[in-house]
């Protein structure tokens, strides 16, 4: 039986959102989406002015009257305790409340950890050091590793290179799997780099070089090594489209249609993208009298000729969205394919083979360098599609604490990508009933779901203004039991409402 249990959830359509959520949440959504990622969280909660009148919780939990950027804020800003004098919740009082909500519906059990983000003080610990299958919560490890190794501003280049044989163009993969088939879209993440734009620029370069055709297209996707599929993945998950063979070049994160998140995927995403490029090159070439031969074959891009010849010369290039923007997307939508590709790019930057094993080793190395012991952690993949993974709640909270308050400010870029309860990403359709509504708009957390696994790890500012990080992991659960997701959401909502003293 495949361990995957469908999609983790998506935000409801705009019409439904407007009908089902109060004005407060709609205002919070505007704040969450309008403020740049580097400063969105702290200033977004604070706001310099607020309407008068009593509030059921602290004023930092109300929507700000205006958006502001704190003095000195920048890419290194981000989460900090919103009230330096706010009391740390009493551990015993908090544990009593969490124990009442964190209960399995049927079989299985939950582990959990809650820490004060500023001090690291453990406020709740239920088997927090026990390694458990974390499902997609393991994506947090790759997000942190990518930001540290590649850097938030890194972009991946997809190039065309003059081949060794005159009249050949080599499409060279550089790790961008979010390519669009049309024109580059500078304001987008998916489709930021477009194959139509690359084709037109390539034709211009060919014209300048005196080419008349016919032109043949080759594909160099040799950046990745090893098997394209992890041996830990179930064939059923691959067939269902949860993931696909990995290549360093793809359209729409290896989907046939932009924005699609379910259903079968291309099994050779690189060749699918190369054929789309060849079609765009044919169109652009026809306009200026340059013919393009049908078909695409794989072949290596030559190194630049030492004598200054054409072979190996870069003809054109398009750049991906930044690593920060891609991390935001993979966390918000829980994109399995993008996560695994990002892991291989981390391996490449670390001097390791860009394979499944190399990617895992590179990510775990980054955890150790962050000061998070990884010896007890087992990662069979990076997307979380297998029950073979073992990560503890303490390790996950340590990663999130490093993102929120740690000294490596590159990790701040991950914060805006955490889904917001009741509003965005895989939490968009949750936190809508009376038992969880208190966390809507406040809880920001990464979800995780397999047939017998459910997890939620993230951060929240409590009613006293204290920033808390948390991780809750359920294993051995009854498949399909709705109460388990509700238990997680109620528990996180308790943290948001906590004035636990």
- Beta strands 292-298; 122-126: pairing state: unpaired
Alpha-carbon separation of residue 438 from 5, 130, 163, 197, 483 (angstroms): 27, 29, 60, 47, 17
User: Helix crossing, 139-149 with 323-333: angle to 10°?
Assistant: 180
Give the DSSP letter string of 93-108.
HHHHHHHHH---SSS-
The tokens describing 333, both together, are 């939508």
Of the candidates 272, 319, 323, the one whose C-alpha atom is nearest the C-alpha of residue 159 is 319
- H/E stretch holding 294: strand 292-298
Q: How far apart are CA 240 and CA 385, in angstroms?
A: 12
Tokens standing for residue 258: 């932009």
| Contact present, 218 and 296 (Cβ < 8 Å) | yes
Cα gap 392→317, rounded to integer Å: 42
Catalytic residue ranges = 136, 139, 334
Nearest to 264 by CA among 305, 290, 236: 236
Residues 394, 113: contact at Cβ < 8 Å?
A: yes
Q: How far apart are CA 328 and CA 332, in angstroms?
A: 6
Residues ≥6 apart with Cβ < 8 Å to 31: 40, 44, 63, 64, 67
407 Cβ neighbours under 8 A, 6+ residues apart: none
d(CA 80, CA 422): 23
Spell out a b/e string for 436-445, using b for 16 or more CB atoms within 10 Å of the CB, else e: bbbbbbbbbb
Domains and CATH numbers, the chain: 14-150+354-497 (3.40.710.10), 157-321 (no CATH)
Buried b (16+ CB within 10 A) or exposed e, 55-87: eebbebbbbbeeebeeeeeebebbbebbbeebe
- β-pairing verdict for 453-461 and 467-475: antiparallel
- What 3 state SS string does 304-358 have? CCCCCCCCCCEEEEEECCCHHHHHHHHHHHCCHHHHHHHHHHHHHHCCCCCCHHH
Q: Could you read off the pLDDT tens digit of each residue along the chain, which spans 501 residues?
A: 445 544 565 433 333 333 344 434 434 443 343 333 333 334 333 333 333 333 344 454 544 444 333 333 333 333 444 677 899 999 999 999 999 999 999 999 999 999 999 999 999 999 999 999 999 999 999 999 999 999 999 999 999 999 998 899 999 999 999 999 999 999 999 999 999 999 999 999 999 988 887 999 999 999 999 999 999 999 999 999 999 999 999 999 999 999 888 999 999 999 999 999 999 999 999 999 999 999 999 999 988 867 666 788 999 999 999 999 999 999 999 999 999 999 999 999 999 999 999 999 999 999 999 999 999 999 999 999 999 999 999 999 999 999 999 999 999 999 999 999 999 999 999 999 999 999 999 999 999 999 999 999 999 999 999 999 999 999 999 999 999 999 999 999 999 999 888
Contact 320, 124 (CB under 8 A): no
CB 362, CB 350: distance < 8 Å: yes
């Amino acid at each position: 039986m495949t361990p995957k249990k469908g999609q983790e959830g998506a935000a409801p359509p705009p019409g439904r959102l407007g009908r089902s959520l109060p004005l407060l949440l709609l205002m919070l959504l505007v704040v969450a989406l309008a403020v740049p990622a580097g400063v969105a969280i702290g200033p977004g909660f604070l706001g310099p002015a607020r309407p008068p009148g009593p509030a059921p919780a602290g004023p930092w939990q109300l929507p700000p009257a205006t958006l502001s950027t704190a003095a000195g804020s920048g890419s290194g800003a981000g989460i900090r305790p919103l009230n330096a004098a706010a009391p740390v919740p009493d551990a015993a009082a908090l544990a009593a409340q969490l124990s009442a909500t964190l209960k399995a519906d049927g079989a299985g059990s939950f582990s959990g950890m809650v820490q004060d983000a500023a001090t690291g003080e453990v406020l709740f610990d239920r088997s927090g050091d026990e390694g458990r299958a974390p499902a997609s919560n393991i994506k947090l490890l790759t997000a942190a590793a990518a930001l540290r190794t590649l850097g938030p501003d890194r972009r991946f280049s997809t190039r065309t290179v003059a081949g060794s044989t005159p009249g050949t163009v080599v499409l060279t993969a550089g790790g961008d799997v979010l390519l669009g088939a049309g024109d580059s879209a500078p304001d987008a993440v998916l489709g930021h780099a477009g194959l139509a734009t690359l084709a037109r620029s390539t034709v211009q370069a060919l014209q300048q070089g005196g080419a008349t055709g016919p032109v043949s297209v080759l594909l160099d996707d040799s950046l990745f090594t090893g098997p394209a599929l992890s041996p830990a993945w179930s064939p059923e998950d691959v067939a269902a489209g949860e993931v696909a063979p990995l290549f360093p070049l793809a359209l729409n994160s290896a989907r046939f249609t932009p924005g699609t998140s379910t259903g079968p995927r291309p099994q050779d995403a690189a060749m699918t993208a190369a054929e789309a490029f060849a079609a765009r090159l044919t169109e652009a070439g026809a306009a200026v009298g340059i013919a393009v031969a049908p078909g695409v074959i794989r072949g290596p891009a030559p190194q630049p000729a030492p004598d200054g010849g054409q072979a190996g010369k870069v003809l054109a290039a398009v750049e991906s969205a930044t690593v920060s923007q891609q991390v935001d997307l993979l966390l918000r939508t829980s994109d399995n394919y993008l996560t695994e590709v990002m892991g291989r790019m981390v391996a490449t930057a670390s001097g390791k083979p860009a394979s499944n094993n190399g990617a895992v080793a590179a990510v775990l190395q980054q955890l150790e360098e962050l000061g998070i012991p990884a010896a007890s952690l087992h990662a069979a993949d990076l997307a979380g599609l297998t029950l073979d993974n073992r990560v503890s709640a303490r390790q996950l909270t340590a990663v999130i604490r490093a993102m929120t308050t740690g000294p490596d400010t590159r990790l701040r870029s991950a914060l805006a990508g955490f889904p917001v309860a009741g509003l965005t990403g895989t939490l968009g359709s949750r936190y809508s009933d009376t038992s969880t509504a208190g966390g809507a708009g406040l809880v920001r957390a990464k979800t995780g779901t397999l047939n017998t696994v459910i997890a939620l790890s993230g951060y929240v500012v409590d009613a006293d203004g204290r920033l808390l990080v948390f991780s809750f992991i359920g294993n051995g659960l009854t498949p399909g039991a709705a109460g388990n997701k509700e238990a997680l959401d109620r528990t996180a909502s308790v943290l948001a409402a906590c004035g636990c003293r």
